[in-house]
Amino acid sequence: MKLPSDESCLLCLEGWEEAKMRKVKDWLKGSRQRYAAVIERDPSLLLKVPQETNLRLFIAQDENEQQVFRQIAWHYLFLPIFTTSKGLQEVHTEVNGFAADFADRGISLVTNARNNLQNATLTGRSLFGKLEGVPAIVCGAGPSLAKNGRLLQDIQDRAFVIAGGAAVESLRRLGVTPHFAAHVDPDPAHPFLKQMSYDIPLFYQLRTSHEVVVKGTGPKLLMEGSGNFPLETWAQAMLGMSEEPFDSGWTVGCYAMTLAFHLGCNPIILIGMDLQEEKYDWKLAAEWIDQFGARETSRRWINSTEGGIGFNSFENLPLAAILKTLTTSYPTISTLASQATPLIGGPAVARQMSDSLSRAESYVTQMLEGGVSPLLEHDLEQELAEQKILSPIWQIWKYPILRYNAHGDVGEQVNRLIFAQDVYRALSRN
């Protein structure tokens, strides 16, 4: 059995074998940040095998296997995993993908929301259905985009071009100006996105990097979030937006494609979506796109991407073959923007957030310095910052923080207060 050399990781094995576990225990001694989990079918082993800080036994039967996979993924959140179980690997990727937004303790999400609320903005949902029957080309930033630069220059007057994330800059380098930009990342991997300016309408969410949003000088169209962060949901309700979450998949490409669908576009053509199976988040994105196309049969779905995983529910046609079929005229950008509903009250909502954060930080500091009191606990629990910011973030971060808690409920309470103080102080500086 080959053991990973990583200093911080999770090794997950199937079946308890004494000889193998002696090697694993020696491996664990090499770093305090190494963990091992063993999935076993025999419940009687729970009485024979002691649970240790960095070595745990999980009992799984066929009927609860997925539940156990999810328990393992959460317990060892943010750790790289080494396992031969494809099912566990997929659940681990899904859970860590969900938690990735909170990897910086939610600082980016809250900071982006507060700053984005300062923008003069329109509601993106008010444009749904305004492009009924208009062809859309949804662009990702994959290699196949550049291969079709000349065709995209010819086609942009006959279809709506929607660029997701880095595809905005990729298209500009090809001499193509998209009709819409779509951004979702709280802290994009491409640093140039925070530096480039663009004068086209932008679909975004409160979670989107405010440094990216502020670079857009065209109309800003705010969309609802996925419902994963209560602060975002609360702010949207305060602005009078829809309470319905906007399910937009795993990546900005999924998001842009979903926008095209709700705008009413048909057909919807994907290009530059060179998703690779070896990257699990891209694999999840490809599966999501494929399922969306299979479910929404009222539209014609075409994949013009060359390479990548592909989508079973889509037609596969080269862009050159589609070019001659696109003759539909469509409204101008200015006409569309004039039909969008303005959102009022963003700065006031941002002030409510900031005021509550200040009060919550004060309560937490008092409890850490002078002891916990029922009155302070009550006051803290009533705060927006506690209910909509700290509490949901703690529900994620408690897993890595409490791995070494040896003091029960008291230890958890102290760790939570220290964590809260760190988060509130970081937010006060942003």
Q: What angle do CA 174, 179, 180 make, to 5 degrees?
A: 105
The domain that holds 58 is classified in CATH as 3.40.50
Going by pLDDT thresholds of 50, 70 and 90, the confidence category of residue 205 is very high
Q: Do 75 and 198 reside in the same domain of the chain?
A: no
H-helix or E-strand spanning residue 22: helix 18-28
Query: Rounded CA gap, 344 and 397, in Å?
Result: 34
In a domain, 50, yes or no: yes
How confident is the model over 2-14, as a mean pLDDT? 93
Task: Give yes or no for residue 336 having a pLDDT over 90.
Answer: no
- Ramachandran region, residue 8 (left: φ > 0; alpha: ψ -120 to 50; beta: rest): beta
Q: Which of 316, 343, 370 is the last residue of a domain?
A: 343
- In angstroms, the CA 39 to CA 72 distance is 10
Q: Looking at residue 311, what is its pLDDT?
A: 84
Q: How far apart are CA 384 and CA 359, in angstroms?
A: 10
Query: At 330, is the secondary structure helix, strand, or coil?
Result: coil
Domain membership flag for residue 94? yes
Q: Would residue 360 count as lying in a domain?
A: yes
- For residue 223, what is the domain's CATH number? 3.90.1480
DSSP 219-240: -EEE----S--HHHHHHHHHTT
Cα–Cα dist 330/307, whole Å? 30
Entry pTM: 0.89
Q: Which domain holds residue 129?
A: 120-343
My answer on whether 247 and 309 are in the same domain is yes
Q: What is the pLDDT of residues 132-181, one digit of tens each?
A: 999 999 999 888 888 888 888 877 678 899 999 999 989 988 999 899 99
pLDDT in tens, 13-33: 999 888 899 999 999 999 999
| Confidence bin at 405 (pLDDT 50/70/90) | confident
Check pLDDT > 90 for residue 280.
no
Among 44, 72, 102, the domain-final residue is 102
Nearest to 36 by CA among 85, 89, 81, 103: 81
- Residue % of the chain over a pLDDT of 70: 97
* 267 and 373 together in one domain: no
Q: Are residues 298 and 404 in the same domain?
A: no
Same domain, 294 and 382: no
pLDDT of residue 279: 62
Give the per-residue pLDDT at 285: 85
In this structure, of 183-197, 287-301, 344-358, the range with the lowest mean pLDDT score is 183-197
Q: What is the pLDDT of residue 232?
A: 95
Q: Are residues 329 and 354 in the same domain?
A: no
Are residues 130 and 191 located together in one domain of the fold? yes
User: Nearest 5°: CA angle at 88, between 82 and 92?
Assistant: 80
Residues 339 and 369 both lie in one domain: no
State the residue for tokens 């681990």: 92
- Residue pair 38/54 in contact (Cβ under 8 Å)? The answer is no
| 225 plus 251 within the same structural domain | yes
Q: Residue 263 pLDDT more than 90?
A: yes
> Are residues 130 and 186 part of one domain?
yes
Radius of gyration from C-alpha coordinates of the chain: 25
Lowest mean pLDDT among 35-39, 216-220, 226-230, 276-280: 276-280
Summary mean pLDDT of the chain:
90
Tens of pLDDT, residue by residue over 299-316, are: 999 999 877 677 889 999
Please provide residue 335's backbone torsions phi and psi, each rounded to the nearest 5 degrees.
-65, -45
Strands 341-343, 121-123: pairing kind: antiparallel
* 308 in the same domain as 246: yes
Q: Which residue has the higher pLDDT, 52 or 114?
A: 114
Per-residue pLDDT, 220: 94
Q: What is the pLDDT of residue 18?
A: 87
Say whether both 38 and 158 belong to one domain.
no
3 in a domain, yes or no? Answer: no
Of the three residues 343, 371, 401, the one that is the final residue of a domain is 343
Res 420: pLDDT: 96
289: in domain: yes
In a domain, 115, yes or no: no
How many structural domains comprise the chain?
3
Q: What is the pLDDT of residue 326?
A: 82
202 pLDDT band, cuts 50/70/90, is: very high
**263, exposed or middle or buried, with CB in 10 Å at 0-12, 13-18, 19+?**
buried
